[in-house]
Every structure is written in C-alpha cells, then in structure tokens.
Structure 1
Amino acid sequence: MDQRGGSETRRGEGWRTPAATTRRRMPVDMMYAVGFICLQVLSIQAAAIQFTKEPKSQDALHGRSAMLRCEVSDPTDIRYSWLHNGQPLENSERRFQEGSNLKFSAVDRRLDAGNFECVAENTATGEALHSNNASFNIKWLESGGVILKEPVSDREMENSSLVTLRCDIDGHPRPTCQWFKDGVKLTEKTHQINNKERTLTFKNASPDDNGLYYCCAKNAAGHVCSNTNYTLNIIGVCVTLCNKYQICKNIKLTYDIL
C-alpha cells in the first residue's frame, strides 16, 4: 500500500512538473522580449538627431557682431546648414557659417530681418532635423537733418505764422530728442517740444526766434546729432504811416511801404 502510494505520488509529481516549468518559463521569456524591445527603442533614440544647442532670438546692434549657435549631441556624419526666411543662406564676408554656428561680423537691420533656422542632416541616413526659428531685435540709430515741416516752404511764412521744425533722426527703439538753438539746449518749459514726433513748434514766429537750430537724439544704439541744421530768419518789416509813425510787423522776406 505504501509503495503504491509512493509510486502514485511520484507519477503525480512527474505529471505536474512540465506544466509548472512552463509556467515558470513564460515570465522569463516575456522579460527577454520586453528587454529586446527596449534595446531596439534605445538604439533608435540613440541614432536620432538631437539638438543640444539651438539658435535663440536675441537683441543686436546694427553694425555690430553677433552669433547664432547650433549643435547636436552626436556630430558624427552631421552636416549643418542655415535657412533665412525659409531660403538657403549663402555665405558672405558679412554673414557666414563658422563650424555649425552662424556668425555676423556686422548685423544689418534690413538684410538680417526675419527668421533664421539651423538644419542638421545625417549624411549616412539622410535624416534631417530643423531647429526652432530665431530672429534679431535689431537696435539702430540713423542721423538726419533738421527740416521745415510747417509751412511747406520758407516763402509761405507770414506775419506771426506757425512754424514747426522736425528732427529727422530715426531709430529703434524710438529715440529721445533734444533741441538746441545757437548751441543752447531748449526745454519744454520755454518751448513747444513734441518728443514723440520729434518736433519744435513756434506758434507765433518772430525775429526773437531767429538762430541756428539743430537736434540730437539717443537710444540703446547710441547718440547722434543732426547732420544738417536749419537757420530760422524771420525779418521784421516796418510799415510807415503818414511819413511819421512806424509800425513794425514780423513778416518773412517782404518789405512794404505805404
């Protein structure tokens, strides 16, 4: 009886062993499969192009140097190129590719307006990756002259007429302006100055306002003064009445005798 029971027990154990082994083996097989998939994913990620440095939008001064940087994690078989407003950028003495970066020896507010983009291409696989767009906030200041805004010409100046001079200096950001008469700075307390429009206005121009006028302006890009100035010359005209009394009027370039 005992022997038969022992034999049956061994047969039972022998019958259960393959199934139990299979059940234990399945998780191991699944682990190998998952591990293989992970290795495949990691190998794909390792082969993909990844930027470690991308060009960034930045402030720049007109006429000054600047640099846009571009770099990938693995430079093997990588060829760099740049786009400007979506078009391939051609190297010049002023703007050229230096390694993977784009260098500007002198930023130009007109030629360098718009977006720049770095392209990294793997020459072995043909894969290409485009960076984010970057642009310059170009600060500039350009000199100009003092011009007569109102009236249109000197000939239209009349007795006690309204005269407005404009400082034709422009820039970004908008420059602040200062006015000078014969080298003396004018203030808003004594003169009608519009900083936004960069104008100087005389409501009733008279010979007392005669003189050489010029302006200076400044912003983040620097400081300049007008390259041509304006000489205001209001002539007082005397009108004789009854050959005895004289009444003087402020009229430009006219002379009347009654």
Structure 2
Amino acid sequence: MWREGNSCRYLGPEYQILRVPPFVEGGDELLDYIVILHSPLELDCSATGTPSPTITWLKDGQPVEEGAGHKILLNGQKLLISRAQVSDTGHYKCVAANKAGEHEREFDVTVHEPPSLEDAGTMLNETVVVNNPIHLECRASGNPLPAITWYKDNRPLTSSASATFLNRGQVLQIEGAQISDTGIYKCVAANTAGTAELFYSLQVHVIWKALQLLGFTLDDFKARSR
C-alpha cells in the first residue's frame, strides 16, 4: 500500500483499488439564497470522488426527506424545492461521503413573503365629526416585516401636530379632525418580496351633517331639543 496526497492505492497480485476522497464544487464557501414565497429553488452539490460518493442532504441538522415539494435529483447532486414556503427557511448542508472521506457544502436559505393586508386593494369609507379623533389602520404582515408609507390624495404624509403614526406606521391617528382632513388616504406596505395597498375615503363633517348621514331629520333634532 502506498499513499500520494489524499489518494490511497492498494496493490495486490490480481487487482488494484484507487480511492479518492469526495470533492464538492464550491464546498469551501457558505452560500446565501433569498427566494420569494412560492418560487422554485435549486441547491447544487456537484461531487466527485472514487468510489462515487453518496450524497446526503440536511436541513438544520435533520435529513431532508423527499415529498411535499422537495425532490432530490441526480443521485443527490441537486435538491429541488418546487414552491418555497416560509418553513423552508433554514441552514442546508449536503454531505458527500465515500470510504476515503467526506466533503460538504452549506447554504443559508431565507424565504421572503410579500406583504399581506386585510381588505388589500379595496376602498374603506370612514366618517368622523369635526374636532373628533379618527384612527386608520394598516396592519401588515410579511417577511421581512413590511415598511409602511401613508399618502393623502397621492401625496406622502408625514407626522405633524394633528397626525401621528403608531406601531411602525400601522396606525394613522388624527387628533381633532378638520374639514381639511377630508380626502383619500392610502397605505402602502412594502418589502423585498412585493407591495400591498389599502385605501380609505375619509369624510369630516360638522355635527348636523353627521346626524343627517345617520338618518336624522331637522324635526328629529328639534324634538330632541325640547
């Protein structure tokens, strides 16, 4: 028997065995993958060695099993995720092994989820009596956490003495609403995976106009004043 580098040969009277430890292309670097929810993802583990190495895939230290959108192809040299889910986020590793040793490649996978808003894309109607407070909500979910921007009549809104943003912009609070606050409000939730929008039509009325909207007549108002 003699050794040359990582190769080992056994010389017998009738046969010769050559063993070469596995080598995984790109195995010395950690790869970061970001994929959008429901998009496909392929992780490659091109390995050589003699005898041909067996390839095992792990996610967060546990074996990856085929099924539920996961396929292991080309004798383990490719892991295919057909429709990425948030639960697919994690640390992946492929391990190529034979009798001469093993080599591995590592991947960090993050699945980004577009923003989600209840009633997204619709127009919600809100009415408030002048000098009263009003809260407009824009409660968004997503990964990464969406940033929220508010607009009034297509112009960006900023914090002021009468209008403030709460809970990272998920609530627009108007204290002491004025007639000038009447308008179309839009919240936009955005992250690296996409955007979602929600609209409000806000009407600010004096008290008599508000009573009319509730179905009261002038006679009702006079009767209640006696």
Name the TM-score, length of structure 1 as normaliser.
Answer: 0.58
CA contact (8 A) 2:39 2:82 kept: yes
Equivalent in 139, 151, 169 of residue 197 of structure 1: 169
The structure number with the bigger radius of gyration is 1
Cα drift, residue 112 of structure 1: 0.6
Matched, 1:43 2:8: yes
Equivalent in 148, 162, 171 of residue 133 of structure 2: 162
Question: Partners of 1:40 and 1:202 in 2: how far apart?
Answer: 74
Deviates more, 1:183-192 or 1:76-85: 183-192
The residue type paired with residue 53 of structure 2 is I
Trace 1:179-218 onto structure 2 (pairs within 5 A): 179-181=150-152, 184-188=154-158, 192=163, 194=165, 196-206=168-178, 208-210=180-182, 213-218=185-190
Residue of structure 1 in register with 2:80 after alignment = 103
Residue of structure 2 in register with 1:134 after alignment = 107
CA contact (8 A) 1:141 1:169 kept: no
| SS of the residue 1:111 aligns to | helix
User: Can you give the 5+ residue segments of structure 2 that lack an aligned partner in the other structure?
Assistant: 10-17, 121-125
Question: Partners of 2:31 and 2:102 in 1: how far apart?
Answer: 16
The alignment yields a C-alpha RMSD, in angstroms, of 4.0
| SS of the residue 2:25 aligns to | strand
CA contact (8 A) 2:70 2:82 kept: yes
Q: How much identity, in percent, do the aligned residues show?
A: 19
Deviates more, 1:48-57 or 1:79-88: 48-57
Matched, 1:90 2:65: yes
If asked which structure has higher relative contact order (CA below 8 Å, sep 6+), I would say 2
Which 4+ stretches in 1 moved above 6 angstroms? 252-256
Whichever structure has more helix as a proportion of its residues is 1
How many residue pairs get aligned? The number is 199
Deviations 1:45-81 (A, max 9, x none): 9532232234622222222222211122326432222
| SS of the residue 2:8 aligns to | helix
Name the TM-score, length of structure 2 as normaliser.
Answer: 0.65
CA contact (8 A) 2:164 2:172 kept: yes
CA contact (8 A) 1:51 1:71 kept: yes
Residue of structure 2 in register with 1:219 after alignment = 191
The residue type paired with residue 88 of structure 2 is D
Trace 1:61-80 onto structure 2 (pairs within 5 A): 61-74=36-49, 76-80=51-55
Go from structure 1 to structure 2 and tell me whether the alpha carbon gap of 1:232 and 1:224 turns closer, same or farther (over 3 Å shift).
Answer: same
User: Can you give the 5+ residue segments of structure 1 that lack an aligned partner in the other structure?
Assistant: 1-35, 148-153, 239-247
